[in-house]
Amino acid sequence: MKLYSYFRSSAAYRVRIALNLKGLPYEMESIHLTKDGGKQFSDAFRAVNPQMRVPALALSGGEVLTQSLAIIDYLDEVYPDPPLLPAEALDRARVRAASQIIACDIHPINNLCVLRYLKRELKHEQAEIDAWYRHWVLGGFKALEQLIEQGNVSGPYCFGSHVTLADICLVPQVFNARRLKVPLEAFPRIVAVEAACLKLAAFDKARPENQPDAE
């Protein structure tokens, strides 16, 4: 398998974690999102992913998967050990809901292409863009903090003693929040989950600073 990735992309970070948890070897090709105008816009990468975003995962048979949650769903179905979703339907729904708060509500409107559009096309000042970013992170984290409190009976992860898709989504979002100086004092459960996850080799290996294209 080949993963088209960028070290700071939180969506690619999710897929790296999932691949590591499954113990799946992969080749990585860096698609730098800012150098030379963004290598995601090259003809070569457009042929891989017409949306021109990372991650993309090329399978051994030549098929290419895109969108991080779709990729992770595929990996969980084809390589079911360890499972990334609970066995019970209600528990799976809760994990998916927490994951989607991040992947569908927080991340898309704080993605690099959105922030660039605010700056370049709509001419917002950087302070306004930073306020935009913090607003959406803080709102989502408030909900997540409560969901973790309700669902984390035995800890130390989002929904108990096993890593799930929720943890895979949460850790990269916390990394981004820290990088952009979002205050996290109001979210002790989120911070505790992040710390527990980063003790695991699969998460540690996937950290942005541990990637070959890290700057």
- Span 169-173, mean pLDDT? 98
Query: What are the pLDDT digits (tens) for 46-67?
Result: 999 999 999 999 999 999 999 9
**Pairing mode, strands 2-5 and 64-66:** unpaired
The sign of the dihedral angle between the CA atoms of 145, 114, 208, 79 is positive
Query: What domains can be seen in the chain, in order of their start residue?
Result: 2-82 (3.40.30.10), 89-203 (1.20.1050.10)
How far apart, in whole angstroms, are the C-alpha atoms of residue 24 and residue 75? 9
Each residue's pLDDT tens digit, 16-39? 999 999 999 999 999 999 999 999
Q: Look at residue 155 in the predicted model and tell me its pLDDT.
A: 84
What DSSP state is assigned to residue 121? Answer: I
Q: Which residues pair with 2 in a beta bridge?
A: 27, 58
The pLDDT-based confidence of 127 (bands split at 50, 70, 90) is very high
Cα–Cα separations (whole angstroms), residue 139 to 102, 133, 153, 174: 11, 10, 23, 13
Write down the pLDDT at residue 151.
79
Whole-model pTM?
0.95
Phi and psi at residue 212, to the nearest 5°: -65, -20
Percent of the chain having pLDDT more than 70? 99
